Structure 1
Amino acid sequence: MLIFTYVLATLAVVSFGYIVITQYKFIWILLRTLRRDLTGITRLARTILKIVVAQLKNQTVGDSFNQTAAKYPNKTCFYFQDQKWDFRDVHELSNKIGNYFSSQGFRKGDVIGIFMENCPMHAATWLGLSKIGVVSALVNTNLREESLKHSLEIVKCKALVFSEELSNAVQDLVIGGHLTVPIF
């Protein structure tokens, strides 16, 4: 039994030595990045936990944003070009957008296409629609004519919100008679 223990210990030492000698680069990288990796894993776990808790509470993105806006109204939410948008501004704008679309008859479960370039107005529109339960279909801004028409039809949009930069693409659909939903 004693010989077996010595053989096992020797085998363990030799195996460890072999791994250290042949995999030294991997071990060095592992040790150098371990703190960063553990931090990332911890943050990911916290985020997943927050998402699970929000799902259990039936909390929407709009609800989460409202809580953040109430907690940090003067903190910057977006930097866009030379402007700073704080949480209060985005909250108020998204509420106005949500109230407007609600007054236009849109309800929970309706789908509205958002065809906008990346800007704070895009996020505020998405948030405002989310707050009233409307599903936002984020439409690729590179689409034109038939592919744009197909994208809007496939998600069964009841309306389309677009930005000024994309008005020519929307105008082409309207002129061609391919767009029958209200546009905003």
Structure 2
Amino acid sequence: MSADATAAPLTEQQHEDLRSLLGAWALGACPRREAAALERHLRLCPDCAEEGTRLRDAAGWLSADEPLDPSGALRQQVLDWCLARRPAELPVPTWGAPYAAETAKLDALLRDLGPEEWQEIVELPWHGGTDRLRPAEVLSHLAAVDGYLALSLGLPDPVPAGPGPAAPAAG
């Protein structure tokens, strides 16, 4: 008898959690560990297996040559249309547009990170070498750099210094 056949039954919440991964799985965008758990579940759950097959078939209709993300031109058209209807309270100066675009990409990426991905370590090129960091460490670095940039522009530091380490006791 296989290990799958002797697995403990799932709770409704566990079942729904696995079912919610079907779309990402069908597109091949599911993290490895979650994909493995879902594939074990698909062997035992005919309803999810059927939906998974339908989604995989539908995903096959998407052209691999076409990116799922909208083009930068489309993004700009949407922003221009929105700003024409209601101007920004604080418009982004022309020189800040590339920074704003990269910030928007980072914001979208961070919204999609799951708990496991926050713990993954990546190697980043850094001053002629590489540095191994987790996403929170990268964000801390970016916030510090933003602080320097803000101060150089005469703006307040976006992340003001909090209480530092306690001073050593006088001996």
Structure number having the greater helix percentage: 1
TM-score interval, smaller chain: under 0.3
| Structure with more relative contact order (C-alpha pairs < 8 Å, separation 6 or more) | 1
Computing the radius of gyration from Cα coordinates, the structure with the larger value is: 1
Looking at secondary structure, tell me which structure has more strand per residue.
1
